[in-house]
Structures are given as structure tokens and as C-alpha cells.
Chain A
Amino acid sequence: MSEFLNNLLFLPESASTFAERVDFLHHFVVGTTMVMSTAVGLAALFMFFRYRRRVPAQTTEYVVPTLATEFIFVSVPLVFFLAWFGIGFRDFTWVTTPPKDAMDVYVMGKQWMWKFSYPEGPNGVNVLHVPANRPVRLLITSRDVLHSFYVPSFRIKMDALPGRYTQIWFEATKPGTYQVLCTEYCGLSHSKMLAEVVVLPEEEYDNWIKDQRRGRLQDRQDALADTSLVPPVARMVEQGQVLAGTQGCLKCHSVDGSQHIGPTFLGMYDRMEKLDDGQSIRVDEAYITQSMMDPGAHLVSGYQNVMPTYQGKLQGPETAAIVEYIKSLRTPNVREGASEGPAYDPIQ
């Protein structure tokens, strides 16, 4: 029955405990609304016909409602409205009050991506892995403007505000992949700010977490322990990383492979890029430098010509440092150590 109603109302799959509650109230409200408005409509139609004008100058009786009639007019809707409100508010309180054993995930919106980080686990962009049948609390914030975290199949939504954490929780009931959308207008690529929640069965989720940690350990063995031994080029990389932040490169170019206003820096170096005129170009030092100084010269296909020139804003060594930084991003840049805090990007 409820499956049928959901299809009729175009509701997406109902995949969380909260969704079941919302759908119940939804059916109740829509059902009553339909019955009531049909009744009012039919009564009106009947009277339009029954009391149609017969002669142009027809006069009518003077009819006024009794107090009882007006009382019914007020009380019937009021009772229904308050009943709906009562149920709705109970469920709202429920969804804004996470259970104590909920697993935490930090969510950060930024133009135009979602970042997820687990207090003792990996960070990720645009894909949130959660176990099924376990309450998950989302601690949501934003790095720039307002966003809103929305999972239609879970019927949950919460704004992401810069400088503040909001929270909401859910318990996914079915393994699967569900879409995340941003519902607070946040600028140019608002409609591209998509992500997904991957709900895994409990054991698979535990394995996934273990895998993530294993990968991280391997990385750690390769990493340099003592920064004083870092060769000069790497220092240029660090300098480039800082510059990329301060010069605003990272506002448009991501370093984690995600879509943004400009192409991602991750794996960009040495890649063949397609241009709008159908030709290809290899991203080498020359092309990167040219793109900084004359961004429109060879525009990578699919991107708008919105980047300002850095001619005169960057000195030679600074340009080189940024190029070195981009070159260093050839492999996935996995962060070391367990993340314990919010998902702030370390850059900037």
C-alpha cells in the first residue's frame, strides 16, 4: 500500500528509519487534503449548479451562518492541523536528537563539493560510506557560503553554515547507493554539487574501514619522517602549496580529483587534455605557466574562460613553485594519521 502511494507521489525509495516516519505523515496529510478539498470542490460545484441564476434581477435570501457553523469551520481544520503538527514535531525532534551510540561523520560543504571525514578514519570527497542499520550522526559545516545537505531517499536535510556546526542523524535501512544533493543555492555550480551515500552491510563496512586504514599505513612507510632531510624541490612544493592557497588557485582547482570551476590539479601534470577546438595538449611546465599568465590561450574543453591572469601578480620563482606543487600531485594525496576533527582542508 505504502509502496503504491510512494510511486503515485513520485517519492524516491524510502531507505531510512526517518523516511518511514515522514512517508506515513505524508500519506496522512495528502490523503486528508485530497478528501477535504474534493469535498469542498464538490460542494461548490453542486451549489454552482443548484443555485444558478434564472432571471437577471433575481434576488436572494439573506443567509448568515450560525455561531455553530463558524465554530465547525474553525475547529475541524484546527484539529487536523494540530494533529499533523503534533506528529510532525515529534518526528522532527526525533531526527534532530541523535542517539548516544550514533557514529559520527563530519560533513563539510564547499563550493561545489561535499567532504566527509570520520573521526578515526579516512577523508573523502563526494562519497560517504556508512553501515546499514546503525545510527549515523552528521556534523555539518561549510567552508564558504550556505549549503544544504539533502538525501532524498533518507528524507533528511540540514543546512551547512560557515562558522557553525549543525547536526542531523539517520539510520539507513537498505544497503545501496543514494544521491546527495545541495538544496541551498550556493552559486555557479549549485546544481553540480552532487555526492552519494554508499550504504554497506555491517561487515562490508568494517572491512572497508580496515582497508582504508591499511592503505594509509603503507603510505606512511613511504613518507619522510624528518622534514629537515626534504630535498629542495620538495621545499618548493611546500612553497607552491602555500602560494596556491594564498593566490586563490585552490578556490577553483581542487587537489583531490573532484570537479570544480577549473580542472583538478590532481594528476594534471603530464596528462593529455582535450581542447575546445578538438586538439589535444600535454600539460607540461610550459602549458601550466602559460595558463597562469594567459588563461584563455588554450582552454581545456568543458571549462569556462573565467580565470583571471596572474601576469604581474606572481614572480618567477613563485610561478615555478606552483608548477612544482602541481607536479607533486601526481599520486593520490592521502592524508596521514587519523583525523580527529572537522573536515577542514589543511591547505590555506
Chain B
Amino acid sequence: MTPSSSIDTAGAAPHDEHHDHHPSYLVDGTTIKSWILTVDHKRIGLMFLFFVLLFFLVGGIFALLIRLELLTPGPTIMDAMTYNRTFTLHGLVMIFLFMIPAIPAVFGNFMLPLMLGAKDVAFPRLNLASLYIYLTGAVFMLWGMLNGGLDTGWTFYTPYSTHTTTTVAPVMFGAFIIGFSSIATGINFIVTCHTMRAPGITWFKMPLFVWAIYATSCIQVLATPVIGLLTVLVAVENLFSFGMFDPARGGDPVLFQHLFWFYSHPAVYIMVLPAFGVMSEIVSTYSRKNIFGYRAVAYSSLGIAFVGFFAWGHHMFVSGQSTFDAGVFGVLTMLVGVFTAIKVFNWVGTVYKGAVDFKTPFAYFCGFLFFTVFGGMTGIALGTVSLDVAWHDTYFVVAHFHFIMVGATIMAFLAALHYWFPKMFGRTYHEGWGLVSAALIILGFNATFIPQFLLGNNGMPRRYYDYPERFQALNVASTAGATLLAFGFIIIAMYLTYSLVYGKVAGKNPWRSKGYEWLSESPPPTHNFVGPQPTFPEEPHFYVDPKKAEVPDAV
């Protein structure tokens, strides 16, 4: 028996409404207008999901083209210029249009108000605006990529980016616009956390996903303006020969790198912190356990967000910055590793004395654990300065950041998609196919990127169109892995689409989770909760036998 009676909303009957029928948000208005002008956070989250998946498809196709080109040395399927534009497009689309918005804008939008017992986010119209700002930026970016293309890599390093004849301006303008979307979403979530928590939800009763989104939002609000300003500076340099970054005019190309990484390093945490949050929810739900060290996990999110701002220089150990700088940034990088280690240990600790149900999201948790540990440890290895001298800008770095940024984020994205699928659509996916595709994806991901670690060790630099013969075997292995990975995604796309329509009806709480979001209907009605404002006396993830329920006060 679960003590659902301890939560007011659970059994609350709809009262004094004119009609006691509350349609789910999916059918509450079916015209196109009711979708594109909606201010419902759930519909906005769903629209984000659609576009984020679309851009993931685009970025993924380009990833496969890159892998195909690298199957053999020399030209394979495209020429050098096309290749350079392809990897630039892959990076830009994946980072700005997929990874950064993926979890916060989709699942953050959908779940955050539900988890806080709120009817919506603090600024619903701003929320809708952030979707359209994002799309406007995407249009500029893709327009620029298709009209002339850009061959600088997603890092836009000067002076190459101010000299190249390809179209830098529209793409950078696109990045500038998308930044506003990121900031708006961040502000919205921060204010929602501060002002919209239902009675009973104190700061330390917030679900850990909310903590992660909160920390992420702080980074978004503080770091994104820097890349905004930087894109403007590069544009001005390009148009008016400003001499900010051009040494021929007394500028400094390394200054660009400082400004760029001051945003882009924290941006890595914009991508992985929400993933950490998702995993905290999932490990708790599927092992039916309270989080082992709730406060440690919550604080470490804030710790990563904070320290993440002071580690950017580790991208520049061989850029000619001072040795002292390298030392400072090296030490600070280690701290990020320690905060991540705390999380990993506490996730594993959560399973201790739990009751594990090995469902698809939990399979992704296993993959995630591996990618985070391995990606994180290789990150630490890159932070030990002398090793970075050998590895910098080789495939080792490519493999490392794909493990931690992409591996961990994709695991969390897919886990979240499966975990919250019943909540979002009211139907369940097919468990068998779920496990098969999870295995395929985890296997494919490892097969793609483990050879790349070895390629890096062997000395293959990144962004290489052509390579010496000796690198070929590992490249073939990597391409084979990428193919496997693609198959995994195709299977997921097929059965999830099928489940949308034909999946079993899920019911309110198919996982018997104690997460707050499961207290509302599946799918939830437009204003999330029927009846009066719910109160939440228990902490989330409280799976203790009600007869012994007086235990917790510690944490």
C-alpha cells in the first residue's frame, strides 16, 4: 500500500467547477491556433520536443556523413570544403539547436511546474516567446549554413573566422538570437522555482531534477550574454575591421578564446546538469529508494554550476597562455570532477537496499553511469596539464566530450523520454523494444567513441578531412559503431511513434513513483491539478513503508 492519502491532491475530487470534466492538455483545444499561440508550458514543451528532435535528426545525418567520409583516407564521399562545412554544421546544430535546449526546454518546461505543484511557469508568454526566438535563430543559422555554408567549426576561432569567405555573419547572428531564448527560459525557471512552489515544497523538498534545472538556469542567465556579446564583436570585426582579435591591427586572437570559452565551458554544464537531474529522478523511481545523499546531490549541482565558470582556461593550455594560468585552471577543473564524483557515488548508493526494476529508463541509467564515469575521468585526464599537451585537439578530446556531453545527455534524454512518455501522452511504450534499442544504443555509442579515444592516443588530430593510412582501422571501427547507433535511433523512432497512438493506456502513475509530477493525471489537464492548490507534506522519492514512516528528518 502506498500512503497516497498523505498527499492532498491525490484523492481530491474536483469541486465547485461548472463542469467536473477536465480534458487533458492534449485535447484542450485542437485547432492549430490553440497550439501555436498556447501559453501552456506542457504544449510549449511538446513543441520544443518536436523541433529538438527534428534538429537532432539533421545533426545526426551530418554525423553519419562525417563518419562515412572518414571511412577511408582521402576523399571518400565529399571534397574537403564540403567536409569542413559538414562538421561545422553538425557541431552547431547539435550544440545550439539540440543539446542546449534538449532537456531544459522540453522536460524542464513540461515537468518543472508539475514538480512544484504550480499551474504553469512564472511567465507563460515569455515561455512561448522563447520557443519562437529559438526558431528564429534556427532559421538564420540554417539559412546561413545552406547559403554558402560555414567552415570554421562550431568554435568560430579567430582570425580564421574573420578571414574566411564563407558566411559567418548569419550563422553567428542565429547563435546570438538563440542565446536570448536560452536566457528567457533560464529566467523563467529561476523565477518559477522561487515564487511558484506549492505549500509544503521547501527548497530541500524540491525534486533533484528541479535542483538541476535551477542550477542550469543560473548558468544560462549568467553565461549566455557573453557569447551574445562575442558574436557581436566578431560581426563588427568582420564588417568594420575593428581589430579586436586581429593581430595585424593590434588585436589578440587569444582574447577571443577566453571570451568564447567563458560561455562555452559553462555551456557544457547547461547540457549535462539537466541530464544529471533526470538521472537522479530515474534511479530513485526504479530502485524505489530515497536519494542516498539528497543534499549532497543538490549542492553538487550548484557547485558544478559555480566552479564551471572558472575552468574555461583548460581549453587553452597550449594556446600560449601563462603557465600560472594553466595551473589555476587545472586545479579548478579537478573540482568539477569531484562534484561529479559525489553525484556518481550517491546514485550508486541510492540503489543500496532499494528494489530495482530494470525497465528501459534504468537501462539508460546504466549506460549513463558508464558514460559519466568514463567521460568524467577522461575529462580529469585532460585537465592534468601535461597530458593535455599531448591530447589537445586530437580525437581523444572528441571522444571525451562526446562521452560526457553527448553520451550522458543522450542517455538522459532517452531515459526521460521513456520515463515521462506515459505522463506526457498517457500511453506506455513497448518495454521489449525499449530494452533492445537501449542495448543497441549503448553498444553503438561505445563502439563509435572508444576507438576515437585510441585514435587520439595514436595522434590523429580532430577536424581532419584526410588522414595518414595508419589511422584507418580505428576509423572504420568508429564508423561501424555509428551505424549501429543509427539503427538504435531508428528503432526508437518507430516504436515510440507507434506507442503514441496504439500504446497501452498508462494510468496516472505507471511506475508507482513518488515523484511529485505523478500526482497529476496522465496526461495532465491544462492547469495541471484539478481542484484546490495541492500541498506536498512529504519529500519526493519517499518510498518508506507507511507504518515506519516517521523515520526521516535527517537528510
A: residues with CB less than 8 A from B are 9-12, 18, 21-22, 25-26, 29-30, 33, 36-37, 40-41, 43-44, 47-48, 51-54, 56-65, 69-70, 73-74, 77-78, 81-82, 84-85, 87-93, 95-97, 144-146, 148, 150, 152-153, 155-159, 161-164, 166, 168, 179, 181-192, 194, 304
| Residues of chain B with a CB closer than 8 A to A190's CB | 84, 463-465
Give bound CA distance, A97 to B555, whole Å: 50
Residue B545 at the chain A interface, CB threshold 8 Å:
yes
Q: Smallest Cβ distance from A52 to chain B, in angstroms?
A: 5
Tell whether, in the assembled complex, residue B326 and residue A10 are in contact, meaning their CB atoms are under 8 Å apart.
no
Tell whether, in the assembled complex, residue B338 and residue A78 are in contact, meaning their CB atoms are under 8 Å apart.
yes
Give bound CA distance, A208 to B2, whole Å: 85
Tell whether, in the assembled complex, residue B356 and residue A179 are in contact, meaning their CB atoms are under 8 Å apart.
no
Decide: A73 near B386, CB < 8 A? Known: A53-B357, A148-B318, A181-B459. no
Residue B60 at the chain A interface, CB threshold 8 Å:
no
Contact partner, B323, options A65, A96, A150, Cβ 8 Å: A96
Residue B552 at the chain A interface, CB threshold 8 Å:
yes
- Residue in chain B with minimal CB distance to A182: B461
| Residues of chain B with a CB closer than 8 A to A33's CB | 374, 377-378, 381
Contact partner, B457, options A9, A36, A96, A166, Cβ 8 Å: A9
Residue B348 at the chain A interface, CB threshold 8 Å:
yes
- Residue in chain A with minimal CB distance to B163: A145
Residue B233 at the chain A interface, CB threshold 8 Å:
no
Decide: A53 near B247, CB < 8 A? Known: A62-B551, A85-B383, A92-B326. no
Task: Tell me the count of chain B residues lying within 8 A, CB to CB, of chain A.
Answer: 98
Contact partner, A52, options B294, B323, B356, Cβ 8 Å: B356
Residue B352 at the chain A interface, CB threshold 8 Å:
yes
| Residues of chain B with a CB closer than 8 A to A25's CB | 384, 386-387
Tell whether, in the assembled complex, residue A81 and residue B380 are in contact, meaning their CB atoms are under 8 Å apart.
yes
Q: Smallest Cβ distance from B288 to chain A, in angstroms?
A: 5
Tell whether, in the assembled complex, residue A10 and residue B386 are in contact, meaning their CB atoms are under 8 Å apart.
no
Tell whether, in the assembled complex, residue A77 and residue B341 are in contact, meaning their CB atoms are under 8 Å apart.
yes
| Residues of chain B with a CB closer than 8 A to A63's CB | 289-290, 292, 349, 352-353
Residue B370 at the chain A interface, CB threshold 8 Å:
yes
| Residues of chain A with a CB closer than 8 A to B288's CB | 53, 58-60
Q: Smallest Cβ distance from A113 to chain B, in angstroms?
A: 15
Residue B337 at the chain A interface, CB threshold 8 Å:
yes
| Residues of chain B with a CB closer than 8 A to A62's CB | 290, 542, 544, 548, 551-552
Give bound CA distance, A161 to B247, whole Å: 9
Residue B500 at the chain A interface, CB threshold 8 Å:
no
| Residues of chain A with a CB closer than 8 A to B383's CB | 81, 85
Tell whether, in the assembled complex, residue B389 and residue A155 are in contact, meaning their CB atoms are under 8 Å apart.
yes
Give bound CA distance, A96 to B389, whole Å: 10
Q: Would you list the 5 A-B pairs with minimal beta carbon distance, nearest first?
A: A163-B247, A152-B459, A88-B384, A91-B386, A92-B385
Besides A62-B548, A70-B342, A81-B383, 9 other A-B contacts (C-beta < 8 A): A47-B348, A48-B356, A51-B353, A63-B292, A70-B293, A153-B459, A188-B151, A190-B464, A191-B80
Residue B503 at the chain A interface, CB threshold 8 Å:
no
| Residues of chain A with a CB closer than 8 A to B386's CB | 18, 21-22, 25, 87-92, 95
| Residues of chain B with a CB closer than 8 A to A159's CB | 318-320
| Residues of chain A with a CB closer than 8 A to B318's CB | 148, 157-159
Give bound CA distance, A182 to B58, whole Å: 29
Q: How many A-B residue pairs have CB under 8 A?
A: 284
- Residue in chain A with minimal CB distance to B463: A185
| Residues of chain A with a CB closer than 8 A to B294's CB | 64
Tell whether, in the assembled complex, residue B461 and residue A11 are in contact, meaning their CB atoms are under 8 Å apart.
no
Contact partner, A161, options B319, B323, B461, Cβ 8 Å: B319
Decide: A74 near B160, CB < 8 A? Known: A53-B356, A184-B393, A191-B467. no
Residue B189 at the chain A interface, CB threshold 8 Å:
no
* One of B102-110, B117-125, B197-205, B327-335 at the interface: B327-335
Tell whether, in the assembled complex, residue B369 and residue A41 are in contact, meaning their CB atoms are under 8 Å apart.
yes
- Name 18 interchain pairs, CB-CB below 8 A, sorted by A: A12-B459, A21-B386, A25-B386, A52-B355, A57-B2, A59-B545, A60-B287, A63-B290, A64-B293, A69-B349, A90-B386, A92-B386, A152-B390, A159-B319, A164-B247, A183-B393, A184-B393, A188-B80
- Residue in chain A with minimal CB distance to B343: A73
Give bound CA distance, A168 to B392, whole Å: 15
| Residues of chain B with a CB closer than 8 A to A150's CB | 393-394, 459, 461
Decide: A51 near B317, CB < 8 A? Known: A10-B474, A191-B467. no
Give bound CA distance, A148 to B390, whole Å: 12
- Residue in chain A with minimal CB distance to B83: A191
Decide: A70 near B296, CB < 8 A? Known: A60-B353, A184-B157. yes
Q: Smallest Cβ distance from B403 to chain A, in angstroms?
A: 12
Tell whether, in the assembled complex, residue A47 and residue B157 are in contact, meaning their CB atoms are under 8 Å apart.
no
| Residues of chain A with a CB closer than 8 A to B65's CB | none
Residue B373 at the chain A interface, CB threshold 8 Å:
yes
| Residues of chain A with a CB closer than 8 A to B381's CB | 26, 29-30, 33, 84
Residue B527 at the chain A interface, CB threshold 8 Å:
no
Give bound CA distance, A57 to B462, whole Å: 51
Contact partner, B351, options A47, A87, A153, A191, Cβ 8 Å: A47
- Residue in chain A with minimal CB distance to B316: A159
Give bound CA distance, A167 to B288, whole Å: 57
Q: Smallest Cβ distance from A334 to chain B, in angstroms?
A: 29
